[in-house]
Amino acid sequence: MAAETAFHLSKKKYAMTTTPLRIAVLGIGMMGLPMARRLSEAGHPVRAWNRTRAKAEPLALYGVTVNNTPAEAVQDADIVISLLENGPVVGHVLFDQGAARAMRKGSLFIDMASIQPSEARDHAARLGELGVAHLDAPVSGGTVGAEAGTLAIMVGGRPEDFQRALPVFTPLGRATHVGPHGAGQLAKLANQMIVGITIGAVAEALLFAAKGGADMAKVREAISGGFADSRILQLHGQRMVERDFAPRGRMAVQLKDMRNAMATARETGFDAPITALFEALYADGVEHGLGDLDHSGLFVELASRNAMQ
């Protein structure tokens, strides 16, 4: 009852400042669920679809309509948001399951999944032939940012479409237009390169200190505030100290992003030796059964290499 009251109060608050848009959300997982909830709470009529319907059902409490097919969810929508697993899945849902043809001309598709820039450009071109606009707008900030509405949103596409999307982005976080189609995905890959590499640096440094006899928790505390400090050291470093690897962002997803970065580097002729090293390290971790751990679980792989528990 309290949740329902909060929902109605939230909708009333936003109704005075936001023109409602009919929104469809495709893909209701760890990120999609809180993001769809926030959009509904902002006063937008929201429809949702997920391959496993049960994962979307909790959204009904927040006034979201759950549909059985992506085509049902997107019909009549002003804006369709994708939070699907990867590029091939996005393409399959759009062009094989009928979502693209079910979208009305003049609507806007916002792909907030992390896919390859070349895939984003291909989807934009194919949707354009159907009269549907496209933005690639992947996010950073994890489930914490999705719940709080503090995501960093990196957007590629036409500036006028970016402006159209601002009422959708505002309840979710801070959006920045970074260039044409595919540029949002490039920014996200750059983000994931930094995240993945820095997780590895923090894990290796803390294990190095512990191997020599130092207190790992105290080392983390000692270097906080200096040049080595970072959000990764604070959040993921604490998870390493506590051995808390419950998934917020899974290692298997981090590996997917590193592989997408390497594929894009090859396409553009860019030499990325540091990313290549960490792609291999995450791949070893996934091969060793760590894929469902949080991406800070790279610590476990590095600890095993050094015979440390």
- In angstroms, rounded to a whole number, what is the distance separating the alpha carbons of residues 290 and 285? 5
Whether the CB-CB separation of 184 and 175 falls below 8 Å is answered with no
- Of 12, 188, 211, 256, which residue is the catalytic one? 188
Residue 131 has a CB neighbour count (10 Å cut-off) of 11
How does DSSP assign 58-89, residue by residue? GGGGGTPEE-SSHHHHHTT-SEEEE--SSHHH
Specify which residues 139 forms β-bridges with.
Answer: 153
Strand runs labelled E in the chain: 23-26, 46-49, 65-66, 79-82, 108-111, 133-136, 139-140, 151-157, 173-179
| SS3 assignment, position 308 | coil
CB within 8 Å of 98: residues ≥ 6 apart? 69, 70, 71
Give me the amino acid identity at 133: A
Residue 11 has a CB neighbour count (10 Å cut-off) of 18
12 is catalytic: no
> What are the catalytic residues?
188
